Amino acid sequence: MKKIAPKNLPNKNNPFNYLIIIALLGATAALFMQGELETALKKNEPIAISELQQKFQNNELESLEIKDQKLTATGKDGQTYTSFKEPSSNLADLGFTGNEDTKVSVVDTSGSKLWMNFLLGFAPLILLIALILFFVRKSGSMGGESGPFGFGKSRAKIYDKTKHRTKFEDVAGAEEAKEDVFELVDFLKNPKKYEKAGAKIPKGILLVGPPGTGKTLMARAIAGEANVPFFSVSGSEFVEMFVGVGASRVRDLFKTAKRNSPAIIFIDEIDAIGKQRGAGPGGGHDEREQTLNQILTEMDGFEAGTTVIIVAATNRPDILDKALLRPGRFDRQVHIDLPDMNAREKILKVHAKNKQLEKDTKLKEVASKTVGFSGAELENVMNEAAIRAVKNRQKTITQEDLLQSVEKVAMGPERKSRKFTEKERRMTSYHEVGHAIAGHFCENHDPVHKISIVSRGRALGLTWFLPNEDVYSKTKSRLMDEMVSLHGGRIAERLAFGENELTTGASNDLERISNIARNMVMRFGMASDKVGPVNFISKEYEAKPHSDETARLIDEEVRQLIDEAEDRCEKILKQHEKLLKIISEDLLEKENMTGEEFAAYFKNEK
Ligand code: ADP
Ligand code: ZN
């Protein structure tokens, strides 16, 4: 039988737990005493002090006891009277003197009163501290186990067996990746079988793919199919303030997983700790290095009989320390790519399961309009569509809901509340139409899908190009055309309003242009003979060392590509300046324009 409950998370023998319990008990006791005091006072109805004075004068009292402000008297008839006085008034003031028959006593409470006041005054505070301690330890909020009371503890989250377990059928598409990891499931289920055959099973596998493609989901599915506990941490969590904390966390995590063997440890964003030493920003960070070393030590130190598989996820296998990729460590890579048309439809179907879709919805159409979307984004589309349906008081989700949600997810939610000046809006309109026209006249460019000058996120406007089919690799001419359309925004602004009116809106465009050009020259060998087909950005190092002379050549080459694209763009826009004006002014009115509406302006051209 597998034991799912981890044995040392959280640690029951921690002295802090006792402290908390004691504090809680003390605080409740103090509050309880306060409550009891009040109920005791209510027992016999107090009488007015004047009445008590009267009884004293009339010699009706046997004894009188004064304790703080409370007066308790026993009548000669045996009855008990209580009353209250002001704190400062003394016996003489109250007229309880000169009657020898009544025994008058004053009880000194200063000692116990102090103690009582102390308890009563501090009870809420103690309770508060106890509660804070309790929640900090329990939920991991406020720094949680990384807080002052437990940095060494790993923050691994284990999978609760009682909840719905993820299965392979929950991971849509990704058929090849599933095949790749399938034997891990079998191994986790029957480790003995493999041991007997002397077969070595990988200790670590690396899931490689862009964010949101279902790497975490896949790791969960492996655990779910094999019915073993799932421990997950994120690499970025290990990057702590204090040296040594990450390492001790790793130790703890592996210890727990081994005790619950067979198990899966999932390390998300492993590149955050597994970066090559000395590479990139933050290189050579002591803490990172220690954490990484600890992971390596743990992986090497598995005794025979422990069945723990470490699944790590990254988008950048090229920057990982080579020590991580050595045999016996993460020596297997499983690639999960962005879903293709078919996979997108399947993913949409998975997330449509618990939703009410109108009969005539066509998920295939949605899939065709979501080129480049990740699984997470597709899930988001479904969710947005459901929200939209609810907002419109529909019982079912329509195709329109789905398509609108695609736009929302692709472009971000509209920011209608932001107010722009008429000039800013006109500028934005020319800018976006400039992108669109430049792209429209490039042979290897994706067609315009939508143009909008409604601000979304940080963008003032947006031109959305959408390929007709999935693109797996880009040719040089495609990349060039992309640069041409990216220049379109700035050049349109310049043509329409002059050099001095250029806005800052083009900074993102310029950044993308530079990136494309640099990659063409330094990575893809798409430069001229002068530089040659050399990869200057390799897996081994962030940047390969090259001579100053080469650096200069690279710069020149990059510059030349960018200028070439700019020239082409300028020619196109100058040639169609009239249309630029007409379409931009129309867009200013309409705010949004579909690809078809845009294409209609060019019926007699091209
Ligand atoms: P990653 O770890 O690669 O960043 P996640 O596994 O966290 O991505 O994916 C986020 C969410 O997106 C998942 O919880 C799931 O709902 C959805 N998702 C991603 N890929 C798929 C897929 N292939 N099939 C179904 N849902 C998916
Ligand atoms: Zn732009």
DSSP code string of 566-577: HHHHHHHHHHTH
- Over 1-35, what HEC string results? CCCCCCCCCCCCCCHHHHHHHHHHHHHHHHHHHHH
Helix 476-497 × helix 422-440 angle, to 10°: 150
Nearest listed ligand to the Cα of residue 430: 2
Q: Name every residue whose Cβ is closer than 8 Å to that of residue 551 and which is 6 or more positions away in sequence.
A: none
Tokens of 499: 């050099």
Q: Name every residue whose Cβ is closer than 8 Å to that of residue 103 and which is 6 or more positions away in sequence.
A: 62, 63, 64
Residue 331 has pLDDT above 60, yes or no: yes
The residue extents of the domains of the chain are 1-150, 157-335, 341-410, 422-600
567 versus 272: the higher-pLDDT residue is 567
H or E stretch including 116? helix 110-139
Grouping H, G, I as helix, E, B as strand and the rest as coil, residue 414 is strand
Tokens of 334: 């499983």
Q: Is 593 exposed, middle or buried (0-12, 13-18, 19+ CB in 10 A)?
A: buried
| Across 2-22, average pLDDT | 47
Backbone φ, ψ for residue 73 (5° rounding): -125, 145
Spatial distance between the Cα atoms of 476 and 482, rounded to a whole number of angstroms: 10
Confidence of residue 134 (pLDDT cuts 50, 70, 90): low
pLDDT of residue 53: 80
pLDDT in tens, 292-319: 888 888 888 877 677 889 999 999 888 8
Does residue 165 contact residue 159 with C-beta atoms inside 8 Å?
yes
Question: Was domain 1-150 assigned CATH 3.20.190.10?
Answer: no
CATH match for 157-335 among 3.40.50.1240, 1.10.10.10, 3.30.1280.10, 3.40.50.300: 3.40.50.300
Spatial distance between the Cα atoms of 19 and 134, rounded to a whole number of angstroms: 10
Tokens of 230: 């799932």
Backbone φ, ψ for residue 196 (5° rounding): -60, -40
| Across 364-387, average pLDDT | 93
For residue 469, indicate whether it is catalytic: no
Residue 162 has pLDDT above 60, yes or no: no
Helix 476-497 × helix 507-522 angle, to 10°: 150
Q: Distance between the two ends of the chain, CA-based, in angstroms?
A: 72
Least confident segment among 291-295, 474-478, 510-514, 528-532: 528-532
Instruction: Evaluate: CB of 376 within 6 angstroms of ligand 1.
Output: yes
How far apart are the CA of 215 and the centre of ligand 1, in A?
A: 7
Residue 238 has pLDDT above 50, yes or no: yes
- Over 52-77, what HEC string results? HHHHHHCCCEEEEEEECCEEEEEECC
Instruction: Evaluate: CB of 172 within 6 angstroms of ligand 1.
Output: yes
pLDDT of residue 111: 61
Of the candidates 30, 16, 37, 1, the one whose C-alpha atom is nearest the C-alpha of residue 109 is: 37
Residue 510 has pLDDT above 80, yes or no: yes
Residue 485 has pLDDT above 90, yes or no: yes
| Residue corresponding to tokens 């690499």 | 235
CA distances from 429 to 434, 446, 463, 510, 569 (A): 8, 20, 10, 18, 17
Atom of ligand 1 nearest to the CA of 173: 23
CA distances from 127 to 21, 148, 162, 502 (A): 10, 20, 33, 62
Tokens of 211: 């964010």
pLDDT in tens, 378-421: 999 999 999 999 999 999 999 999 999 998 898 887 777 777 88
Tell me which residue has its CA closest to atom 27 in ligand 1: 375
How far apart are the CA of 351 and the centre of ligand 1, in A?
A: 11
Question: Was domain 422-600 assigned CATH 1.20.58.760?
Answer: yes
| Across 362-376, average pLDDT | 92
Instruction: Evaluate: CB of 217 within 6 angstroms of ligand 1.
Output: yes
Cis ω for the linkage preceding 447 (within 30 of 0): no
How far apart are the CA of 173 and the centre of ligand 1, in A?
A: 11
| Across 100-107, average pLDDT | 76
Of the candidates 118, 113, 119, the one whose C-alpha atom is nearest the C-alpha of residue 33 is: 119
Instruction: Evaluate: CB of 311 within 6 angstroms of ligand 1.
Output: no
| Percent of the chain at pLDDT exceeding 70 | 80
pLDDT in tens, 210-220: 999 999 999 99
Grouping H, G, I as helix, E, B as strand and the rest as coil, residue 183 is helix
Tell me which residue has its CA closest to atom 15 in ligand 1: 376
Confidence of residue 40 (pLDDT cuts 50, 70, 90): very low
Can you say how many angstroms the Cα of residue 565 is from the centroid of all Cα atoms in its chain? 39
Instruction: Evaluate: CB of 174 within 6 angstroms of ligand 1.
Output: yes
| Across 108-129, average pLDDT | 72
Does residue 437 contact residue 461 with C-beta atoms inside 8 Å?
no
Among 163, 181, 213, the mutation site with the greatest number of ligand 1 atoms within 8 A of its Cβ is: 213
Least confident segment among 338-347, 384-393, 550-559: 550-559
Of the candidates 478, 8, 44, the one whose C-alpha atom is nearest the C-alpha of residue 253 is: 8
Atom of ligand 1 nearest to the CA of 220: 6
Backbone φ, ψ for residue 105 (5° rounding): -130, 145
Does residue 569 contact residue 488 with C-beta atoms inside 8 Å?
yes
Query: Would you tell me how many other CB atoms lie within 10 Å of the CB of residue 330?
Result: 27
Residue 564 has pLDDT above 70, yes or no: yes
Residue 433 has pLDDT above 90, yes or no: yes
pLDDT of residue 142: 39
pLDDT in tens, 588-606: 999 999 999 999 999 876 5
Confidence of residue 145 (pLDDT cuts 50, 70, 90): very low
Helix 375-391 × helix 399-411 angle, to 10°: 130
Confidence of residue 183 (pLDDT cuts 50, 70, 90): confident
How far apart are the CA of 436 and the centre of ligand 2, in A?
A: 10
Confidence of residue 198 (pLDDT cuts 50, 70, 90): confident
Cis ω for the linkage preceding 10 (within 30 of 0): yes
| Across 503-531, average pLDDT | 83
| Across 147-166, average pLDDT | 55
Q: Are domains 157-335 and 422-600 of this chain identical in fold?
A: no
Residue 453 has pLDDT above 70, yes or no: yes
| Percent of the chain at pLDDT exceeding 90 | 34
| Across 107-133, average pLDDT | 73
pLDDT of residue 151: 47
Confidence of residue 202 (pLDDT cuts 50, 70, 90): confident
CATH match for 341-410 among 1.10.510.10, 1.10.1270.20, 1.10.8.60, 1.20.1250.20: 1.10.8.60
Q: How much is the mean pLDDT over the chain?
A: 80
Instruction: Evaluate: CB of 380 within 6 angstroms of ligand 1.
Output: no
The partner residues of 266 in beta bridges, in order of sequence, read 232, 311
How far apart are the CA of 424 and the centre of ligand 2, in A?
A: 14
311 versus 165: the higher-pLDDT residue is 311
106 versus 406: the higher-pLDDT residue is 406
Catalytic residue among 377, 384, 432, 493: 432
pLDDT of residue 545: 61
